Chains A and B, each alone.
Chain A
Amino acid sequence: MIHITGSWNSALHNKTLKTLVQGVCIPSAVGVTVAKGTVKIVDERCKSCGFCVEFCPTKVLALSSDFNSKGYHPPYAVAPEKCSGCDLCGMYCPDFAIFGYKNGAAATQEVDHEG
């Protein structure tokens, strides 16, 4: 299985959405874990509360030892292949700094906000 890890951007003022890790899997003859979902993290919004790490049902996440510009440790996907895209992390995050989605699902969740 190939595991791609995004390197931590040392420019701590970079506020753009960072895709830290996406699970990518190459089938092989031996049993493999296919990630069903992806988690996206906005480092700069994170306040290290730890809810996402604690309540991820498949333990995808851990708090990183790196810092964002406010000194908090954002999470990262330590086991991205286990992500099911359930978005529990997104529901728990009080700072809107993380969300998960199912791979292959609509890229953006369309919301008819014009009413």
Chain B
Amino acid sequence: MSATATNPVEPFLRMDRIPHIWCPGCGIGTTVNCFTRALMDSKIDLKSLALVSGIGCTGRVAGYVKLDSFHTTHGRAIPFATGLKLANPNLNVIVYSGDGDLSAIGGNHLIHAARRNIDLKVICVNNLTYAMTGGQSAPTTPEHAITATSPYGAFEPSFNLPHLVEAAGAVYVARWTTFHVRQLARSIAEIFKKKGFCFIEVLSPCPTLYQRRNKMGDGLDTMRFYKEKSKIKNGASTSEVGLTINGEIIVGKFVERDRPDYSSLMRAQFVEALGDRYVDCTETVCS
């Protein structure tokens, strides 16, 4: 028995900034555990990683992980990450952000990056709301849910994110919940090795806002809810995995396919058009 055993997550955290700001029962910290386990299991070279986040509760992940990390503007983690990746193709660039940040204000960038198949690993923590600003409705808020800006119940149809990103062109699409810690860690480790636009949606409790307003209990109640309502259907058709306020939650790895990524396409086109005259940008000294 050793008194010096360290929590396996700690070497990956900026321990000088712990405790973090997330509420009791919030699932974001749980996703960070899965992320760090994936880093360990995949034995990825940490120096080659860069993590980019947007604004929101999930966006704060960038400030807690001990990697080159960028806390950018609301909705724009993906274009920032695109520039980072194109300037240094040796980086493995992770985008770690929330549902509002990625699918509302960032929606346009989400679909274009998927279309282009930019080699980015996107972890979208979906707590069905804009948590940081007080729990307003988001494009992912299920119909009839109460939020700060839908006080009588949301009436907008909500996004089915796996369906959206698959249609846009993502090569890896999965959804898990914070209950599915082992599967989530495994999916994250998988996307490190998958070239192209990868997207993992993780349903997570926001007990302070979403669950409270909808009388769905606390974080633990939500985890039990996930356990009860989830059904693992790997390979499910993404058109059938939409979420409702109280209904079945289909989780699993839905899409895994091969498409040439943006950089391969670019290179192939230039080589065809320019032959020897093409200078691959990795050959030049950038800066």
Contact = CB atoms under 8 A, between A and B. Distances in A.
Range for the number of chain A residues in contact with chain B: 35 or more
By DSSP majority rule, is chain A's interface helix, strand, loop, or mixed? loop
A97 to B, nearest CB: 9
B5 A96 contact: no
B37 interface: yes
A115 B39 CA distance: 12
Interface of A: 19, 22, 24, 38, 40, 42, 45, 47-51, 54-55, 72, 87-88, 90-96, 99, 101, 103, 107-109, 111-115
Range for the number of chain B residues in contact with chain A: 35 or more
A49 B181 CA distance: 16
Interface stretch (B42-50, B106-114, B132-140, B142-150): B42-50
B11 A38 contact: no
B168 interface: no
Q: Rank and list the top 8 A-B pairs by shortest CB-CB distance, nearest first.
A: A115-B47, A94-B29, A107-B2, A47-B24, A91-B181, A111-B11, A50-B220, A99-B7
A91 B20 CA distance: 16
16 contacts: A24-B1, A38-B5, A42-B7, A49-B219, A72-B24, A91-B30, A93-B33, A94-B25, A94-B26, A96-B9, A96-B18, A101-B5, A107-B4, A111-B40, A114-B47, A115-B47
Contact of B8 (A45, A87, A94, A95): A87
A101 B5 CA distance: 8
Contacts of A49: 24-25, 218-220
Given A49-B219, A72-B24, A91-B185, A96 B6 contact: no
